Amino acid sequence: MAQVTLNGTTIHVDLPKTILQVAEEAGLFVPTFCNDKRLVPNGACRMCVVEVQGARSLVASCTTPATDGMVINTETPAVIDARKSVLELIWANHPNDCVVCDKAGDCKLQDYTYRYEIDIDAFKGAKRVSEVDASNKFFYNDQNKCILCGKCVRVCDELQNTSAIGFSERGFHTHITHPFEEGMDKSICVSCGNCVSVCPVGALMPKSKERFRNWETKKIHTTCSYCGVGCQMNLIVKDNKVVDVEPVNEHSNMGLLCVKGKFGYSFIDHPDRLKKPMLRKHGVLTEVEWDEALDFVADKIKHTRDVYGADTLAGLVSARCTNEDNYLMQKLFRAGVGTNNLDHCARL
């Protein structure tokens, strides 16, 4: 157990931990762009700088280990000025289009600009003018809005293990791109969308057909229904309609999703989705009442079992049903029909 003084308060912490971890556990706010608890810290954005007694300059709290006896201040005038300078330099070449940006309301750059009362015109710099890469089927890559925090690159490399994107060129011309600058559609990108989920600004955005503002939505925590992994996610809902999906940093997916979990939610409100039972009458599928449909199925199951035996029947259950529904389905076939021929679309 080590003793650390944080903003004048002495606390006891277990080491090893970084200064940022100590501060967050103590309930203090420290701004970050590039930090992610799942990634190896790299101190790229410099927003998390703090003042450490005895240090010659401000240090990045995400990469600096806390030590016994350390005296740390997270909100001194020097620290605030440094954070302001970082933000003002970002704004020197960042598009000033918050009013129409789809990231508004969920953008760290916007939040920090408001918190630190930034003058977005403090530095006059050239604006990036590059074409938005829309070659991916599911999301856009707008390098004009990129702040080069590198989270997308690191998530793709360290967590997704795909390494489909990386940094290219130097200085003002530095940008995130794919091998040989050929666009996302010709890269090894698997369209998982994990880069989109961690982007703190509007550089990587889903191609959602639904228009919404983040303050118009609510989040519903649920489990992905596509396979048996059990990935945790939040459904972003506006007017009782799912308009987006974000991963939840819990077991078993730890903040990651695949392309189906991240982008494959349109089936929920798809016009082709069956909402009523249908029977084929005279070669044409016709909507019927539930009683008629269930009587028809029961008669067919009973006839097939009596004539050909129970093991000539099989049941297929769905991951898009509740656990209770699936349990009743297997009980119906095992106890009622007398067969163990059951399968599930989420079986891995």
DSSP calls for 194-245:
HHHHH-SSSSEEE--SS---GGG-EEEEEE-SSSTT--EEEEEEETTEEEEE
Q: What is the mean pLDDT of residues 269-292?
A: 93
CB 75 within 8 A of CB 29: no
| Residue, of 273 and 79, whose pLDDT is higher | 79
Cis, bond preceding 16 (omega within 30 deg of 0): yes
Read off the pLDDT of residues 53-77 as tens digits, 9 standing for 90 and up.
Answer: 999 999 999 999 999 999 999 999 9
CA-CA distance, 98 to 129, in Å (whole number)?
A: 17
Read off the pLDDT of residues 71-130 as tens digits, 9 standing for 90 and up.
Answer: 999 999 999 999 999 999 999 999 999 999 999 999 999 999 999 999 999 998 888 899
CA-CA distance, 203 to 191, in Å (whole number)?
A: 15
Q: What is the pLDDT of residue 64?
A: 97
The CATH architecture to which 210-273 belongs is Single Sheet (2.20)
Q: What is the pLDDT of residue 77?
A: 97
* Burial of residue 145, with CB atoms counted within 10 A of its CB: 0-12 exposed, 13-18 middle, 19 or more buried: buried
DSSP letter at 262 equals H
CA atoms 210, 139, 120, 42: torsion sign: positive
DSSP E strands: which ranges in the chain?
2-6, 9-13, 49-52, 59-60, 71-73, 139-141, 166-168, 175-177, 204-206, 218-223, 232-238, 241-247, 278-281, 284-287, 315-317, 342-344
Query: 103: closest CA among 13, 204, 27, 11?
Result: 204
Q: What is the pLDDT of residue 313?
A: 97
Residue 189 has pLDDT above 70, yes or no: yes
- The CATH code for residues 128-207 is 3.30.70.20
The enclosing H or E element of 184 equals none
Read off the pLDDT of residues 288-332 as tens digits, 9 standing for 90 and up.
Answer: 999 999 999 999 999 999 999 999 999 998 877 888 998 999 999
- Token representation of residue 114: 């408001």
Place of tokens 């009973």: 302
Cα dist from 121 to 77, 118, 126, 177, whole Å:
21, 9, 12, 28
- The CATH code for residues 2-75 is 3.10.20.740
CA-CA distance, 115 to 109, in Å (whole number)?
A: 10
Percent of residues in the chain assigned helix, strand, coil, to nearest 5: 30, 20, 50
Q: What is the mean pLDDT of residues 28-43?
A: 96
Q: What is the mean pLDDT of residues 32-38?
A: 97
The count of other CB atoms within 10 Å of the CB of residue 165 is 24
- Token representation of residue 293: 């449909």
Cis, bond preceding 135 (omega within 30 deg of 0): no
The residue extents of the domains of the chain are: 2-75, 128-207, 210-273, 278-344
Residue 236 has pLDDT above 90, yes or no: yes
CA-CA distance, 335 to 327, in Å (whole number)?
A: 12
Q: What is the pLDDT of residue 348?
A: 58
What is the value of pTM for the model shown? Answer: 0.86
